[in-house]
Structure 1
Amino acid sequence: MSLETLVQQHPITSESGSTLSSAFDADSFDAVVMSTYGRFPLALERGAGCRVWDTQGREYLDFVAGIATCTLGHAHPAMVEAVTRQMQKLHHVSNLYYIPEQGELAKWIVEHSCGDRVFFCNSGAEANEAAIKLARKYAHTVLQIERPIILTTHSSFHGRTLATITATGQPKYQKNFDPLVPGFHYVPYNDIAAVEAAISELDEGDYRVAAILIEPLQGEGGVRPGDVDYFQKLRQICDETGVLLIFDEVQVGMGRSGKLWGYEYLGVEPDIFTSAKGLGGGVPIGAMISKKFCDVFQPGEHASTFGGNPLACGVALAVCQTLEQENILHNVQQRGEQLRTGLRVLASKYPNHIVDVRGWGLINGMELKADIELTAGDVVTAAINEGLLLVPAGPKVIRFVPPLIVSEKEVDTALQIVDRVMASLTTL
């Protein structure tokens, strides 16, 4: 079941039980905006820190953060200052010219990661598209593979473009968009034998596996962390075969795991990795980062009009520097442990309903039992009515991805709300 379907099945109600209404005219909105999202009947108009307010003035504790995107929360002074300064200076020019802010951001990323080169774009899907194109060119020009295949995993999510939904190992995202892009093959996550079998079986004629595209922790797939042994064996296989190892760090990167990059949790370095979401703290930007040896792009082979513009890069650099200067990763580690500990207490309190709690840093999932009627949508809707924003990660997993600046008190508040929600839903 998709998130959009969950939303449609769970209307938000006020304390009196009636559907929420406000001065915001949802009908006028729906008349002119394509219905590509199943939206909760909630119109948000402002935010500060980890809190947002709707058009009725009601306050919510935001544990969605634009789906793991608002790194520094809402209206952070460093971002406000960076946006203001850059807009007054220069907000956009073509990549036909050198852009100093782009170079500064790329330098920061290279100095704080295993990468050597950076390509900038506007989103995670575009970053993954760039990685797919780079892997295919590397396969043709370096590995001499006529028909390269990229392995991805079941339950993965890599974006909404045609190539990235093909890479995404979830048929629900692919329905009615065929013919899909050829050259992808899916294997189970955290299953090294399946990877070894696929590389052996697909090595036939002009076909060969050229790359493995994988998330260090699956976000949309249910907040499922990668196994350390599995990823270390992946690295070994790629070293032995020449297959490129590509990490999709769009959701788990930029400090959300408690480390700057998810690959640091696994003790391996990818050849290519992608970033977006938290990189700009909510300002649209994406990046594809590669090791020098596989940087085979030449001028004119890939581009993005808005990619790496001064405004996005100036704000993203401010986000990166603030993460470092304010030691926010320490807060992510502390608050993440606090959140998981609290959720595990709730799992013990509601053993007939909660089956697992898992995650890294401030990307965590609480999984409901498969054989009960209660769904993630039920919990999310009830939490909204209590003033807490959460987001499903599939029909049975509730995702907790607050801003990385979330406080101890705010985590406690969120846990208290979830406790009340579970108490009310499990006694119905």
Structure 2
Amino acid sequence: MWSKIVKNRVSIRFWSSLVPDEPEGPCVLTDVPGPCSKKLKKDLGKMQYAGAVKVFGNYQKSIGNYLVDADDNVLLDMYAQISTLALGYNHPELLKVFQDEKNLKTMINRPALGVFPGEDQPKRVHSVVSQIAPCLPKINLMMCGACANEQTFKNVFIAYQRKKRGKKDFTDEEKHTAVINQPPGAPNLCILSFAGAFHGRTTGALATTHTKFIHKIDFPSLDWPVAHFPLYKYPLGEHERENAVEDKKSLAQVEDLIATYNKKDTPVAGVIVEPIQSEGGNNEASPKYFQELQKIVKKNNAYLVFDEVQTGGGGTGKFWCHEYFDLATPPDVVTFSKKFCLGGYFHSDELTPDKPFRVFNTWMGDPGKVIMLETIIRVMREQDLLDNVQEAGARLKCGLFELEEEFSEIMNSVRGPGTFLAFNIVKPELRDTVLQKLLQKGVLCGGCGDLGIRFRPALIFQKHHAEIVLDKLREVLNELNC
């Protein structure tokens, strides 16, 4: 399998890996993207817009932490399909899943779960909820993270209006005006979000997304409030006073915006926040900040939604990132996707719709992906992957601190828990150069914000992979320092 890829090496040695037959390290045979990827991009571009395509993957050869592209370049994947791969490529346990005929039939028949779920669906869902639920009793499955956030807003609005309406049924006026998008049936409610947030690209979710203009320009949107999110200075221990000011500034603005929108007769029904802003720059906030935010939301009879689409599933070293915050009570909603293979959200009893079809679509998730998720959870437990993330992340972060000290004129602000790490490069154009140079050396990373480089490896990323990343990054920084 690997003979062509490793033919130029002096020796072939395999590390003790969590996935059998992982290669020793990256191996770049062409420019990245290479001629095959460029041709495929041109071919695809004749049928659909392909401007965002970086490389084409060979998913037959890709394995573990390594993405093999169409030109047989072996890339150590620190981005993991935008943080989606829990167990890396072609994990042997996942390859077994659909060799089972019952599982295969579950996948290919793909029932409309909201109306015709399979007889094993209660058992499957209970298996997931009982093992990973963040102290919330209910789950709703969807297809992706944007869908999960979009539908969550409906649950929030339903619960908010139900509190206001009490036990009364819908009035005839509400029924009529709802259909034509007018109050009182379509009430003036809003969701508060934060500058730098990314929550998806469907209409409601996009109204709470505030990163790149290209996601939003030309699209009509909603007049919903946007609060400042704390922007910390690093190292954290040297900037406690400034960062505390950032917390207070953000929390004060949240309170002011809730009051302002209440006066406009557009109450804030919910607040959505990422435990760590991902696309926006890997921006963190302190446990104390989130504790105070929860108090403000509760005081104003709104609901707190944690968007754990990217942070959930173990990359931070805990299954749920908000576990770091020591909240007084669980959040009202926790949304997920990415490493879970499908989308969805856990929520409190209070947010359960009281009538059918209020939160609904044809598939309501995918039972085949639930089977995959069961396997992922099992492997995480059997291989102690949360501990592995902590250990590998500690080595990677320590090495990044060392590079930050050595190359302080180029990089700074190392941050993040587990392997959910990032650092800044001093200028946007130089950041892009670093990303490209790393890619040419066989390390695939992602950008975030204007200056950030983020790491999102699979849970099977180990300390020896961290050494490879640090060596390649050092090479790039040395080249730039010349």
Instruction: Give TM-score, length-normalised by structure 2.
Output: 0.79
CA distance in 1, matches of 2:428, 2:316: 31
CA distance in 2, matches of 1:19, 1:331: 31
1:180 to 208, 214, 221: 221
1:221 to 251, 269, 280: 280
**Match of 2:233?**
none
Counterpart AA for 1:286: G
1:318 to 366, 375, 378: 375
Q: Secondary structure at the match of 2:225?
A: strand
Deviations 1:45-79 (A, max 9, x none): 43111012112222111111111110100111221
CA distance in 2, matches of 1:127, 1:421: 39
1:100 offset after TM fit, Å? 5.0
**Match of 2:335?**
274
**Match of 2:129?**
110
- 1:119 paired with 2:178, answer no
Tell me: CA distance 1:310–1:366, structure 2 relative to 1, closer, same or farther (3 Å).
Answer: same
Structure 2: 5+ residue stretches without partners: 1-27, 166-183, 231-249
Counterpart AA for 2:335: T
**Match of 1:358?**
415
Tell me: CA distance 1:219–1:82, structure 2 relative to 1, closer, same or farther (3 Å).
Answer: same
1:291 offset after TM fit, Å? 0.8
**Match of 1:89?**
105
CA distance in 2, matches of 1:16, 1:402: 23
Higher mean C-alpha deviation, range 304-313 or range 418-427: 304-313
CA distance in 2, matches of 1:360, 1:100: 40
CA distance in 2, matches of 1:153, 1:101: 40
**Match of 1:258?**
317
1:75 to 79, 90, 93: 90
1:375 offset after TM fit, Å? 2.9
- 1:151 paired with 2:192, answer yes
Q: Secondary structure at the match of 2:34?
A: coil
**Match of 1:34?**
49
- 1:386 paired with 2:405, answer no
Counterpart AA for 2:259: S
Which aligned pairs between 1:278-317 and structure 2 lie closer than 5 A?
278-280=339-341, 285-296=342-353, 298-317=355-374
Tell me: CA distance 1:326–1:41, structure 2 relative to 1, closer, same or farther (3 Å).
Answer: closer
Tell me: CA distance 1:311–1:353, structure 2 relative to 1, closer, same or farther (3 Å).
Answer: same
CA distance in 2, matches of 1:26, 1:179: 31
Deviations 1:306-325 (A, max 9, x none): 33332111111111222223
CA distance in 1, matches of 2:437, 2:309: 28
CA distance in 2, matches of 1:286, 1:64: 19
Counterpart AA for 2:118: I
Tell me: CA distance 1:413–1:297, structure 2 relative to 1, closer, same or farther (3 Å).
Answer: farther
Deviations 1:226-274 (A, max 9, x none): 2111100111122322210000000000111111111101112210010
1:109 offset after TM fit, Å? 4.1
CA contact (8 A) 1:50 1:402 kept: yes
CA contact (8 A) 2:389 2:462 kept: no
CA distance in 1, matches of 2:405, 2:66: 29
- 1:62 paired with 2:77, answer yes
CA contact (8 A) 1:101 1:313 kept: no
1:245 to 273, 291, 304: 304
CA contact (8 A) 1:68 1:251 kept: yes
2:209 to 159, 168, 187: 168
Structure 1: 5+ residue stretches without partners: 1-13
CA distance in 2, matches of 1:177, 1:373: 25
Higher mean C-alpha deviation, range 210-219 or range 234-243: 234-243
Counterpart AA for 1:186: V
Tell me: CA distance 1:420–1:15, structure 2 relative to 1, closer, same or farther (3 Å).
Answer: farther
**Match of 1:136?**
157
CA distance in 1, matches of 2:211, 2:32: 35
**Match of 2:266?**
207
1:51 to 63, 66, 87: 66
RMSD: 2.2
**Match of 1:340?**
397
CA distance in 1, matches of 2:449, 2:212: 13
Higher mean C-alpha deviation, range 325-334 or range 202-211: 202-211
Deviations 1:69-108 (A, max 9, x none): 1010011122111233255332112222233554345324
1:175 offset after TM fit, Å? 3.7
Q: Secondary structure at the match of 2:46?
A: helix
1:359 offset after TM fit, Å? 0.8
Deviations 1:371-413 (A, max 9, x none): x464332111111100111111133111111111112111111
| Greater Cα radius of gyration, structure 1 or 2 | 2
CA distance in 2, matches of 1:271, 1:22: 48
Query: Which of the two has greater strand per residue?
Result: 1
CA contact (8 A) 1:154 1:188 kept: yes
CA distance in 1, matches of 2:294, 2:211: 24
